[in-house]
Chains A and B, each alone.
Chain A
Amino acid sequence: DAGVTQSPTHLIKTRGQQVTLRCSPKSGHDTVSWYQQALGQGPQFIFQYYEEEERQRGNFPDRFSGHQFPNYSSELNVNALLLGDSALYLCASSLAPTRSDTQYFGPGTRLTVL
């Protein structure tokens, strides 16, 4: 049973660049949530995708955008990167948001902005 996978594992970018992170949910899951975890902090919710639509959004600027594909995989895009965007980006998958279900996390993408 394939768990949540993310790519790439590590990424180094410079300020002002754009980045795309990818996530494939656990087999059987159709909902993907993205979180940002800065060093020494707990994960912070960015947004959630279900049925290819953004269903919920946390307190993140419009520079953060996403997409969900028909196969339930998802992308997180961040434009105009800032030094403060350096963090571990975690993807979590679960069943439909109308069901009470555990969220399973992928290994994350560690983004460094120089």
Chain B
Amino acid sequence: RKEVEQDPGPFNVPEGATVAFNCTYSNSASQSFFWYRQDCRKEPKLLMSVYSSGNEDGRFTAQLNRASQYISLLIRDSKLSDSATYLCVAQGWNYGGSQGNLIFGKGTKLSVKP
């Protein structure tokens, strides 16, 4: 079983639509969670961190459910510029308190059409 799993898509949506991405992680010891955005042939860029209390950044809302080991990202009022691959990421902490490496899902491709 993959450590971080997400639907690869593609999600093809019209401008203005609301779209939701889901992700599950297998390691219950994971401590931190993120959504990264990756444009075609570019590096991943941090979109937002994900907290248990849920957090919002403009049109983007992220949620974490530790009991279900489930992470979500909601994009409201989609723009053409939102077209990209969205990577779900988990990070653990190692014994001794050092930051663990990032574990990426395969990514979900979003295409927003006019």
Contacts and interface: CB of A to CB of B under 8 A. Distances in A.
Interface band, chain A:
20 to 34
Interface string B29-69: 00010100000011111100100000000000000000000
A48 B99 CA distance: 10
B100 A42 contact: no
Interface of B is mostly: strand
A72 B103 CA distance: 23
Interface residues of B, number: 23
A33 B100 CA distance: 11
Contacts of A103: 46, 102
A71 interface: no
10 contacts: A42-B4, A45-B101, A55-B98, A88-B41, A99-B99, A100-B99, A102-B46, A105-B43, A105-B44, A107-B43
Interface of B: 4, 32, 34, 41-46, 49, 87, 94, 97-107
